[in-house]
Amino acid sequence: MPHYRDAVTNYDLLKLGDFEFQCRVVLPDTKLAYRTYGKLNPEGSNAILIAVPVNGTHQDAASIHIEGENRAISPEKHFVIIPDMFGDGLSSSPSNTPSPFDGVDFPSVTIYDNVRAQHRLVTEELGITKLKLVTGFSMGGLQSFHWAAMYPDMVENVVPICGSAKCSGHNWLFLESLSAALEADSVFEGGRYTEYPEAGMNAFCAIYAAWAFSQEFFRQEGFKNLGLESHKEMGSVLTQFFVPQDPNDLLVRTRAWQNADISDNPKYNGNLKAALAGITARAIVMPSATDQYFWSDDNKDEVGGMPNAEFREIPSIWGHAAGLGMDTADRQFVDDAIRELIG
């Protein structure tokens, strides 16, 4: 079955060599895919990093954050860096890594791993010492929090969108249900499938669709704004995002999401209070008022522990999908906040 990466052609690869993951597995010939937009100014003061969401690549992140008219982040003004995550099919992933680390034998990956690799890209490959802004939606929000906690001297401003500093227990269980649905497909065979586990992937998408949008979105028949006639078609929307993707690739990313914690690293040794206090960047933390994954109250608690942060809730019925900017008002609300920080 064709992989969605087949349609993505314009990107660069950073060769990381032997990369040791947090799980202590060393992966030979590790690669980080990325794309840049715009030009770095002579002062090196206009660099922005956008972290990608769970459902796609740098191409999808560009669509969310920089494409369209009058966007807050513009390649005409900014040097935009969008790194791909491990497990997205472009960077090193189960689907593109040779034996003995292919498929289900690919190392366990954390957000910490991704951000460490991205830091090498920014500093060693691109020669940048300051980031004017780090932002991202969903898993991009998780990465944004990590960037600000791990490299506070580099990050001037941070805007996590529909993300958190640590994955909550409720969020973890939701993600576990996705994995369980996919892995229950008899074709999956413990990750050593020889044919595409279509039933499992469709179940994954159906569950995701119910949670990605709010109850109020369905009550108001918001799906009609997507050109659909019935809520029963919503699974097809998520199918566009997740199929065709390699299932092992997808599981690498969802497990990284499950285990996200800005304090779970040698810098903070599990002290979440210290990790939040270590985020010195100006921050606007932006949950959706109706997100069923990343609850606003969790962000309120996190902002309370950050020295220079503001909690600003997106007033949307679109649930987690508010951060995608599918609704014009939601996109404008987020862009306005970013403009306040970067001009």
249, 261, 291, 327: the active-site residue: 291
Is 298 a catalytic site residue?
no
* 244 dihedral zone (left: phi>0; alpha: psi -120 to 50; beta): beta
Task: Answer whether 22's CB lies under 8 Å from 45's CB.
Answer: no
144, 261, 320, 327: the active-site residue: 320
91, 92, 93, 138: the active-site residue: 138
Instruction: Give CA 138 to chain center in angstroms.
Output: 5
Of 104, 235, 96, give the one whose Cα is nearest residue 178.
Answer: 235
Is 138 a catalytic site residue?
yes
Of 166, 146, 139, 174, give the one whose Cα is nearest residue 252.
Answer: 139
How far apart are the C-alpha atoms of 73 and 210, rounded to whole Å?
Answer: 31
Helix (H) or strand (E) holding 250: helix 247-258
Is 291 a catalytic site residue?
yes
Degrees, nearest 5: CA angle 7-10-12: 125
Of 292, 300, 260, 51, give the one whose Cα is nearest residue 165.
Answer: 260
Helix (H) or strand (E) holding 133: strand 133-137
Task: Answer whether 81's CB lies under 8 Å from 49's CB.
Answer: yes
b/e burial code for range 324-333 (CB count within 10 A of at least 16 → b):
bbbbeebbeb
Instruction: Provide DSSP, 17-82.
Output: EEEE-TTSPEEEEEEEEEEEES---TTS--EEEEE--TT--HHHHHHHHT-STT-SS-TTT-EEEE
**How many CB atoms neighbour CB 293 within 10 A?**
22
Catalytic positions, please? Answer: 138, 291, 320
